[in-house]
Amino acid sequence: MEADILHNENIDIEVIDLMTIAPWDKETVFNSVAKTHHLVIVHEAVKNFGVGVEISAAVAEEIIDEFNAPILRIGAPNSPASFALEKVYLPDADDIVSAVKKTLESAFA
């Protein structure tokens, strides 16, 4: 869905859906970064101290020179969760589209 929205704006992205986080498919992520030179990490857990931080740290430690812009992470806010509030609590397409555009606009000088 997000990829379609961005494609309609002439922004091509590569979506990786990690099927596991332990172990996670580091090779696929690293290959994608080498190709796109950008990384936006999205997960449903809170943004801080989650799997996104671990992926971001591994990428920064091993292939930081590949980037044209900062790594961005999107996650749930640091607040109690409720299934009734799932629509506002979890990241949505607008959050992802906005982050992709932000990383493209904030390229390193």
pLDDT in tens, 18-36: 999 999 999 999 999 999 9
User: Total structural domains in the chain?
Assistant: 1
**pLDDT value at position 104?**
81
CA distance 88 to 66: 34
pLDDT along the chain (109 residues), means of 10: 87 92 95 96 89 95 95 86 70 85 75
Average predicted confidence (pLDDT) for the chain: 88
Query: Could you tell me the residue range of the domain that residue 79 belongs to?
Result: 2-105
Q: Is 37 left (phi over 0), alpha (psi -120 to 50) or beta?
A: left
Q: What CATH number does the domain containing 9 carry?
A: 3.40.50.920
**pLDDT value at position 109?**
52
The model carries a pTM of 0.78
Long-range contacts (CB closer than 8 Å, 24 or more residues apart) made by 77-80: 77/46, 77/47, 78/46, 78/47, 78/48
